[in-house]
Structures are given as structure tokens and as C-alpha cells.
Chain A
């Protein structure tokens, strides 16, 4: 190793100084690192440089990270899957795809769960169906609520999948699922879990009314947390819920774009989209139902913006009409829910144009399950109160019911197998599934 020679070198430099960067970034081989460490003890020039580079490196690594928008993976995969579908036949995947293999495995597991697990496993705390038939929606819901109560964390929130930034949103879904149940068996546990859950949400709210961390996907957190608190207030008439809900509503209204829609937080008007707009609109609609005042203008602007994204075939786009990188189905179902909750009649031209797509999606068992889409479909179709909707609702409900875990430690929950499952985890899947299944 070359070192500073005080006798014949500039005292402000050292021939070994270039090693400082590699030293700070741990890029020196072990022997060189040891030698340079020894050199540092004697060389003030290198020591100062290492200190300064270390501070610089640390500062650069401390910079806040930006989160991906929740749709990014699906946007990418829809392009990739579109390419493989359009590829020459020779390069297409075998018809026995992982999705089919998965469906087969689920079927096998369900069969095994009846023939083996229920015999071998000790009795569970949840109700299990020994007949092999689908459990009733009442039983399924009871077990789901029990699982949600059991998995609540000490701080009152629930866990997400891989993206902890959505903890407020996922916890809000769990609270909404608890509020959606009215079984007397679980009433005490539900009340306790709702009280702890809402306290958790209120604790996450900042002075401006925002629930949880400030990041692009906070728009989802905000809509869901506000909806949960408005719903909890409507159920229990609780002043602290109302104060937090009003503050949450204030934040939502402030974030509304001049076009009427919402974008991801801190993103410009160019990112206004239906996916980000749905939960704020649903929260405002629920608040108006519950007697919160002065929301009409904001709601109408939001609904008008949604109208502008529906094409003549009744399909709702993402940023605009005819544009849906992740598909129209979920957006159309969510949009229809907003319109129907805003008192649009099922036979109004726009809703009537959307309903065929909703029925088609509900009855299509070939598409991968999606708890998010199923939830919006079932909520929207329930509001139409039409005979055809009953058939579609049954299709959705039966499919979701068949996927509930009926044995093992996670009995009562749903596996997070859909496209949002990695982000939301089983609490996401279970909360939405429990609000989707219907009593027969």
C-alpha cells in the first residue's frame, strides 16, 4: 500500500486517498481493508476523507424511498401476459398453467380437508362443516369474524401483506367487516375489536386529517379509514369517531382535483384516476347517508368525473374513457357502486349500460379470483335489487365461500391468493370476502 510520505508529499493529500471511497463502501478485499485501516490511524488526510465520505454515503442512503402505486405490478403483468397470449402457438404455455394447477390443488386440498384433516386434526375453535358441502354464509362469516378478532394486534391495528404502508387501509377493512356483521354470538368480541381498531385509526391521524403515512397510496388509506370511522359513528354515535371522521373528510375534500376526481397523494392532476377516486367517493357518500353535512358539491363533482370515464358500452376507464391498463371489470363494478349509492336508478341509462358487464364478470368462473373485484360486484349488484342480480350474487358468493380455510390455525380466514394479496395479506382477503358472501 502506498502511503503518505510526509517528507516529500503535499501535506493535504495522500497517494492512498483513492482507497477512501472503496473503504467506505466496503469494496476493499480483506487484506487491503486491514492495511488501509492501519494506514488511517497514521494519516489524517485519509481519515478526514473517510469521515467525510461516510457522512455523504449515509446521507444519500437515508433519503426517503418512493412507494410503487398499488396497480404497478398488475400494469406490468397485463402487458407481459398480453404478449404471451399474442405469441405464436408454439411459444404459448401449456394449457395446464400454474393457475389451473393451483385450482386443481385447491380442489384437492378441499377434498383432503374433508377426508383427512377433519379426522386427524384436533377440534377447532371455529365451526367446521363435516359434510363436505359449502358452509353456510352465516357459519363462514362467524368464523371469519372470529379470525379477524383473534388476529388483531396489540395496538388495535391489523397486519398487512408485504406493504406495511397500507396498514391503516387494511385495518379499516377489518373494522368495516366487523361492523358489517350482526351475529349476537360475536357481539362482545366485535365491539371490543371495533373500539380498539378505531382507537388505532384515530392515533394514526395527523393534524391535517391524514390517516397513516404520507405516500402515494395514502389515498386508499384515507378513504377507507374515513369510511370506517363514519360507519362506526353511524353504528354507535360516538363523538370521538365523528371528530376524526370529519377531519378525514376535510382532508379528502381538500385533495379533490379540480376535475372532480382524486389522484394518488402528492401526484399531479395527470394521475387522477377512478381507482384512487372510488374510496373517497364511497366515504363521502356514506358520510352523507349518516347525516354529515355540506358534502353535496364534492360528491357531485366526483360522480360527474366518474360519468366521464364510462364508455358507451358501460365500461369504466382508469384515467379516462376507454383506457384501463389493468382491465375494466373492477373499475366498472366500483364505479357502479358509487353511482348506485348516489341514488342512481338501476334503469338509468348509465347504470343500465354498466350492468351487463357486471353480470358477465360475476358469472365468469374462468377469471382468477379477485376479492377486491368480488366485493365491489356484490355491493353494487345488491343495490340493484333485480332478479338477475340474485343469480350473479349467488355465483360470486359460492365461489368465495369455497375458498375459505376450514381447518388449521388459519381456519375462518381466506388465503391472500389474488393479485392484491401480496400487498394486503389474509386480513385484506378475509375482510373483503366476509363482506361479499351472502346469506342464502
Chain B
């Protein structure tokens, strides 16, 4: 035996959740390690910054508490992101910091831009986040889940509880709006 954790290393997510349902916290730790970074970036892409790790923690604790609701026939990531999306919605209902954070980051980006004389990486990152947050929530969520988190349309439909066709049309609309916003932004800078 090499380590404690590799005993679950090759086990797939659904099987791990079955073990978690029986109270195996080591199996749960494997799931946490496997998905925590993707989840952290999910929250960052949804506009959360300094509280992102708190939301990751809250999501995993909820997933653990809901472990008996999970059915192995469903993909674990569908279950995980369904919980995460609800955690995000709750957090932003409670918090009015989002706008503040955006303003801070924008100011930081403008400073960076004035220093390097061009569009810095921070500026690009901020632009994308700002543009994403300029989309209606139903469109932004589809883009973050589908493009940035790499989930398939079927999973997104399940997470957002909408028909598959709705995901298809929302994705097209979202990309179309982003394209227009990028073009508009580029024209403004010229």
C-alpha cells in the first residue's frame, strides 16, 4: 500500500458517492480533492472573488449532507454543480459586495493598463468577467457551465432544470451577445 488516498484514486465519482453514502469520509476527501479546483474556478467565473473558497466549502458540506439524495445513475458533476449553483444564488442574495468587487478590480486593471501601456492579462480577465456579468443570469450560467466548466448540454439542462433545447438556444444567444459586447468594447477602445 503506497498511501491512504490512492485506495480511492481510480474509483469513479459515482462509486465514491456510494461509499460516502455509507459514511466513508476518505472517499469524500478523494471527491473533494478531485473537484475543488474546478469548483473554485466556477465560483470565480460567476463573479465571486475573496469568498470563493468559502462557497466551495459550503458546497461540499452540502453535498455531504445531501449524500443520501444522490443516485448513481446521475453524473456526480451534475449533482455537484446543482448544489453549487444554489449556493451561489443564496450567497448573492445575501451579499451586496459583488458590485464593490467589480469596481475594485476595474480600478486595479486600469492602473495595470496604465503601467504596461497595453491591455494586460488582468484587463482581459476583468473584461471577460465584466462582460459575463453583463449577461442575464440565465445566459451567463449556461456559458460558465458549458464553455468554462466544460459540461455537456444535457448536464446543464439537468442542473438548470430546463429542456435541452432551451440550453441550446440560450448558449447561442449568450455567445451572440458576448460577441457583440466584445466588438462594441473593442470599438470603444479604438
A residues at B contact (CB < 8 Å):
17-18, 20-22, 24-25, 27, 52-53, 56-57, 59-61, 63-69, 72-73, 75-77, 79-81, 83-84, 91-93, 98-99, 102, 105-106, 109, 162, 267-268, 270-271, 415-417, 421-422
Q: What are 28 A-B interface contacts by the 8 Å CB criterion?
A: A22-B171, A24-B175, A27-B153, A53-B175, A56-B178, A56-B182, A57-B147, A63-B124, A64-B121, A68-B36, A68-B37, A68-B40, A72-B56, A75-B57, A76-B56, A80-B64, A83-B64, A84-B25, A92-B23, A93-B23, A93-B25, A98-B4, A98-B24, A102-B1, A267-B50, A271-B50, A415-B2, A422-B3
Q: Does B168 contact A (CB under 8 A)?
A: yes
Q: Does B107 contact A (CB under 8 A)?
A: no
7 cross-chain pairs, A with B, having the tightest CB-CB distances, nearest first? A21-B172, A21-B171, A18-B172, A93-B23, A417-B3, A76-B60, A98-B26
What's the minimum C-beta distance from A82 to chain B, rounded to whole angstroms? 10
A63-B37 in contact (CB<8A): no
How distant is the Cα of A67 from the Cα of B33 in the complex, in angstroms?
A: 12
B23-A91 in contact (CB<8A): yes
A66-B41 in contact (CB<8A): yes
**Chain A residues within 8 Å of B56, by CB:** 68, 72, 76
How distant is the Cα of A27 from the Cα of B164 in the complex, in angstroms?
A: 11
**Chain A residues within 8 Å of B76, by CB:** none
Q: A64-B125, A66-B52, A270-B50 are in contact. Are A22 and B153 (CB under 8 A)?
A: yes
Chain B, range 70-84, C-beta contacts under 8 Å to A:
none
A69-B53 in contact (CB<8A): yes
Of A65, A93, A271, the contact of B37 (CB 8 Å cutoff) = A65
Q: Does B7 contact A (CB under 8 A)?
A: yes
What's the minimum C-beta distance from A371 to chain B, rounded to whole angstroms? 12
Instruction: Given contact pairs A59-B128, A61-B147, A81-B25, enumerate 8 new A-B contacts (beta carbons under 8 Å).
Output: A21-B172, A56-B175, A56-B182, A57-B175, A60-B148, A72-B53, A76-B57, A267-B50
A80-B3 in contact (CB<8A): no
What's the minimum C-beta distance from A112 to chain B, rounded to whole angstroms? 11
Tell me the dominant secondary structure on chain B's binding face: helix
What's the minimum C-beta distance from B65 to chain A, rounded to whole angstroms? 7
A27-B152 in contact (CB<8A): yes
- Listed residue (A25, A81, A91) with the most chain B CB atoms within 10 angstroms of its CB: A25
CB-nearest residue of chain A to B183:
A52
B3-A98 in contact (CB<8A): no
**Chain A residues within 8 Å of B3, by CB:** 415-417, 421-422
**Chain A residues within 8 Å of B64, by CB:** 80, 83
**Chain B residues within 8 Å of A106, by CB:** 1
CB-nearest residue of chain B to A69:
B53
What's the minimum C-beta distance from B158 to chain A, rounded to whole angstroms? 15
Q: Does B61 contact A (CB under 8 A)?
A: yes
B169-A18 in contact (CB<8A): yes
B33-A21 in contact (CB<8A): no
Q: Does B179 contact A (CB under 8 A)?
A: yes
**Chain A residues within 8 Å of B124, by CB:** 59, 63
Q: Does B44 contact A (CB under 8 A)?
A: yes
How distant is the Cα of A24 from the Cα of B45 in the complex, in angstroms?
A: 20
**Chain A residues within 8 Å of B182, by CB:** 56
A60-B147 in contact (CB<8A): yes
B168-A60 in contact (CB<8A): no
**Chain B residues within 8 Å of A93, by CB:** 23-25
How distant is the Cα of A102 from the Cα of B1 in the complex, in angstroms?
A: 8
B148-A18 in contact (CB<8A): no
**Chain A residues within 8 Å of B143, by CB:** 60
Q: Does B32 contact A (CB under 8 A)?
A: yes
How distant is the Cα of A5 from the Cα of B85 in the complex, in angstroms?
A: 42
What's the minimum C-beta distance from A122 to chain B, rounded to whole angstroms? 21
What's the minimum C-beta distance from A267 to chain B, rounded to whole angstroms? 7
Chain B, range 155-178, C-beta contacts under 8 Å to A:
168-169, 171-172, 175, 178
Of A20, A24, A422, the contact of B33 (CB 8 Å cutoff) = A422
What's the minimum C-beta distance from B143 to chain A, rounded to whole angstroms? 7
**Chain A residues within 8 Å of B37, by CB:** 65-68
B153-A73 in contact (CB<8A): no
**Chain A residues within 8 Å of B57, by CB:** 72, 75-76, 79
Q: A68-B56, A83-B65 are in contact. Are A21 and B175 (CB under 8 A)?
A: yes
**Chain B residues within 8 Å of A417, by CB:** 3-4
**Chain B residues within 8 Å of A271, by CB:** 50
**Chain B residues within 8 Å of A68, by CB:** 36-37, 40, 53, 56
How distant is the Cα of A164 from the Cα of B24 in the complex, in angstroms?
A: 28
- Listed residue (B50, B152, B168) with the most chain A CB atoms within 10 angstroms of its CB: B168
B44-A66 in contact (CB<8A): yes
Q: Mark B36-67, 1 if CB is under 8 A from A, else 0.
A: 11001100110000101100110011001100
Chain B, range 1-47, C-beta contacts under 8 Å to A:
1-5, 7, 23-26, 28-29, 32-33, 36-37, 40-41, 44-45
**Chain B residues within 8 Å of A92, by CB:** 23
**Chain A residues within 8 Å of B146, by CB:** 25
CB-nearest residue of chain A to B174:
A21
**Chain B residues within 8 Å of A20, by CB:** 172, 175
CB-nearest residue of chain A to B152:
A27
What's the minimum C-beta distance from A264 to chain B, rounded to whole angstroms? 10
